[in-house]
Amino acid sequence: MSGARRSLDWGFPRWRAYGGSREATNVRLCDRHGCEEKGDCPAPKAPNSPEKWFFCQKHAAEYNSKWDYFEGLDKAEAAERAKAERSENAGYAEAAHYGWAGAGDGSRSADEMRALELLELEADADFPAVKKAWREKAKLVHPDVKPGDSEAAKRFQAYQVAYDVLRQAEERRSWKG
């Protein structure tokens, strides 16, 4: 009887500690040559192929940075595909009120990101920073400051549109939450 060991689960296997089993677990390593990190981010080997690479987060980001969804398409085909994507994904906009996200965490639209880029702001810029940047840029190219300059007028209009896009997005967010 001295060789018998008492079990710690008292007959209930679910009472064992999590991760308390002694069996080895299979961990898939990153498919990038020489990387010893865990490969838990699947990436397609080729477009429309079921075969996948499995990368660590660092190498998945590197792989995806070179991925061009519109590669091989002319401008008209790319615009048509983008339009089809927007119409297919329109249903997700209905669930926008469930968003818990804030600025700079992927919750901004492509239009908002372009507007922030035009105003030379970071993706996580808050609305007071947007307003400040818009005022500074608009003062430099305002038609009253540069009368008769068509290039300045175009830039002023672009800044105005960017500000309007960001203002409307801010209003939507404040109305929602």
Can you tell me the distance from the alpha carbon of 164 to that of 46, in angstroms, rounded to the nearest whole number? 40
Question: CA quadruple 148, 151, 152, 158: dihedral positive or negative?
Answer: positive
Q: Kindly state whether residues 45 and 113 are assigned to the same domain.
A: no
Q: Kindly state whether residues 114 and 138 are assigned to the same domain.
A: yes
Q: Kindly state whether residues 45 and 60 are assigned to the same domain.
A: yes
Q: Kindly state whether residues 112 and 169 are assigned to the same domain.
A: yes
Under 8 Å between Cβ of 173 and 125: no
Q: Kindly state whether residues 32 and 43 are assigned to the same domain.
A: yes
Q: In total, how many domains does the chain have?
A: 3
Token digits for 155? Answer: 């830039």
Asked whether residue 4 is domain-assigned, the answer is: no
Can you tell me the distance from the alpha carbon of 119 to that of 116, in angstroms, rounded to the nearest whole number? 5
Q: Kindly state whether residues 60 and 119 are assigned to the same domain.
A: no
Asked whether residue 108 is domain-assigned, the answer is: yes
Can you tell me the distance from the alpha carbon of 38 to that of 23, in angstroms, rounded to the nearest whole number? 18
Token digits for 70? Answer: 């519109």
Q: Kindly state whether residues 116 and 172 are assigned to the same domain.
A: yes
Q: What is the pTM of this model?
A: 0.43
Token digits for 124? Answer: 């996580």
Can you tell me the distance from the alpha carbon of 42 to that of 177, in angstroms, rounded to the nearest whole number? 35
Q: Kindly state whether residues 117 and 50 are assigned to the same domain.
A: no
**Which pLDDT score, from 0 to 100, does residue 145 have?**
87
Asked whether residue 149 is domain-assigned, the answer is: yes
Tokens 């400040």 belong to which residue?
132
Domain residues for the domain of 89 are: 72-98
Q: Kindly state whether residues 165 and 133 are assigned to the same domain.
A: yes
Please give the average per-residue pLDDT across 144-151, as a whole number.
88
Which residues, listed in sequence order, are joined to residue 44 by a DSSP beta bridge? 52
Q: 2 pLDDT exceeds 60?
A: no
Asked whether residue 22 is domain-assigned, the answer is: no
Asked whether residue 18 is domain-assigned, the answer is: no
Asked whether residue 49 is domain-assigned, the answer is: yes
**Which pLDDT score, from 0 to 100, does residue 143 have?**
87
Cα atoms found within 13 Å of the Cα of residue 30, Cβ hemisphere only: 16
Q: Kindly state whether residues 165 and 116 are assigned to the same domain.
A: yes
pLDDT tens-digit map of 74-123 = 889 888 888 887 777 766 665 555 555 554 556 778 888 899 999 999 88
Under 8 Å between Cβ of 64 and 43: yes
Q: Kindly state whether residues 87 and 117 are assigned to the same domain.
A: no
Q: Kindly state whether residues 78 and 41 are assigned to the same domain.
A: no
